[in-house]
């Protein structure tokens, strides 16, 4: 059986979602005459319903290695116009991203000839590098804490120190081979 041809006419929405394991691209196809619904995550089709009599509703799925819950809602606007809303963990994408920026910190750098993305989850102190969860070791210092990990031949740590202001909380800095990596 030949693979189904992607219909650009039916592609109605695309989103990019930054999670700890990377930035994921979500595409949604909706055939308004057939009711077809197709969800593609990172170029891989994960759900297809070819014939649906109900043109509105929602489609649930998961994203990434952490299997983050997501849902696309399809609502009728007027006539034959539809509105598509992506929710992540029960929140609108905007609200989810605002919350994620408070609970995680990300750095991008060029290392060993490739772009590297490092993410710290502040609530769990988990560290992710290019989509892989790293083995870490915590250490208390006179200034705060350091979370150490290795990336290839590189010695890395994330330093957490007090900002001196309750509202700002802790400040996190990334160090690779004892070099401070600037924020982008």
Q: Which domains does the chain have, with CATH numbers?
A: 11-89 (2.40.128.180), 102-181 (2.40.128.180)
- pLDDT recorded at residue 87: 97
CA 181 to chain centre: 22
Q: What is the pLDDT of residues 119-159, one digit of tens each?
A: 999 988 999 999 899 999 999 988 889 999 999 899 999 99
Report whether 106 contacts 18 (CB < 8 A): yes
The C-alpha atoms of residue 171 and residue 162 are separated, in whole angstroms, by: 6
């Amino acid at each position: 059986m030949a693979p189904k041809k992607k219909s650009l006419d039916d592609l109605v929405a695309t989103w990019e979602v930054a999670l700890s394991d990377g930035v994921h691209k979500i595409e949604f196809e909706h055939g308004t005459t057939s009711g077809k619904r197709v969800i593609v995550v990172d170029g891989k089709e994960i759900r297809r319903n070819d014939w649906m009599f109900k043109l509105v509703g929602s489609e649930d799925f998961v994203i990434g290695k952490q299997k983050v819950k997501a849902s696309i809602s399809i609502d009728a606007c007027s006539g034959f116009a539809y509105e598509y809303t992506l929710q992540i963990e029960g929140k609108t994408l905007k609200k989810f991203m605002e919350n994620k920026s408070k609970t995680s910190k990300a750095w991008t750098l060029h290392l060993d000839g490739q772009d590297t993305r490092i993410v710290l989850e502040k609530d769990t102190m988990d560290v992710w590098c290019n989509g892989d969860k790293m083995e870490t070791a915590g250490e208390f210092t006179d200034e705060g804490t350091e979370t150490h990990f290795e990336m290839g031949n590189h010695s890395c740590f994330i330093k957490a120190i007090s900002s001196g202001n309750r509202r700002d909380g802790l400040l996190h800095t990334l160090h690779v081979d004892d070099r401070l990596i600037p924020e982008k």
